[in-house]
Structure formats: structure tokens, C-alpha cells
Amino acid sequence: MRITEAAQRLGISPRMLRYRESLGLLPVVRNRRGHLAPRHRHFGATDLDAVALGLAIEQRYDISPAELAFGLRVLADPSARAQVAELGRRIGRIRPLPAMAMDFEKERALRLLGTPSVPPSARRLLPPGRHFADT
């Protein structure tokens, strides 16, 4: 179906549908050879379902199409994901990894390096001159 009919079925304007497409919120259309399709897009059931899902997400979370497009970019781009996560930790919206998880990673790294990993609190429990490896 053409854009005007698709927009009517979705309850949005053709202009909004084109805007959503420019943001990357519609499935990419390719011809039979795998190249990008011509300028006049025909909308199928899959396209309408994708747009309807996007509209539902925007309504549920009270976000704009541009915000949804950025969310998709963050999910798809590891660099963007890491930077957004770092910002979230710095401003307190994302909690840092629990210390226990970091301790596990530190223990694993020390094990791989062949370094004994005795926590400082346990070192105080050992008699002077004794090492954890001696026990």
C-alpha cells in the first residue's frame, strides 16, 4: 500500500511516517537484488506492525520518535552504549557494579597472573611470617 493509506491505518500523517522513516524507525526496504529500493515505498503488514510497535513504545514511555531512534542507536552501537552507561553512573541514574562483582573480577585477574589473592582483612588473621599459601 502507498504511504497515504498506511498513514491512515496507523492514525498518523504521511509526513510523520516519512519522518519516522528518516529516523530509521522503519524496516529498510531492499529490492530483490539486495539494493535499496526505489524512492516510492510500498508498505506491507510487517512495516505497519513495526511502526505500530514504535508508536506504542513512544506512548507508553512518553518519548518522541527521535528519542526512540536514539535508544535504538544506543542498543546497536557498543561505543554509544558504553558512553551513555558511564554518564548514567556519573549522574547516579545507573548504579555502579556491586563491589562484590568487582572483587570477583579482581580475584580472577590475580589468579590468572598467579598472584596470591588474600584480602587485607585476612592477612591480619595470619601469624607474622606466615603467608596464605603456607596454610
Number of domains the chain is built from: 1
Q: Using one digit for the tens of pLDDT, what is the confidence trace for 5-60?
A: 999 999 999 999 999 999 999 988 755 555 555 567 889 999 999 999 999 999 99
Residue 14 belongs to domain spanning? 3-76
User: Which pTM value belongs to this model?
Assistant: 0.63
Kindly state whether residue 39 falls inside one of the protein's structural domains.
yes
Residue 112 inside a domain? The answer is no
In a domain, 107, yes or no: no
For residue 99, being part of any structural domain is answered with no
pLDDT digits over 47-61, tens only?
Answer: 999 999 999 999 999
Nearest Cα neighbor of 44 from 63, 55, 56, 28 is 28
- CA–CA distance, 132 with 7 (Å, rounded to integer): 71
Whether 121 is in a domain gets the answer no
Q: Evaluate whether residue 115 is within a structural domain.
A: no
Grid coordinates representing 119 are: 584480602
Give domain status of residue 35, yes or no: yes
Residues constituting the chain: 135
Q: What is the pLDDT of residues 95-113, one digit of tens each?
A: 876 655 667 777 778 888 8
Q: Is 117 within a domain?
A: no
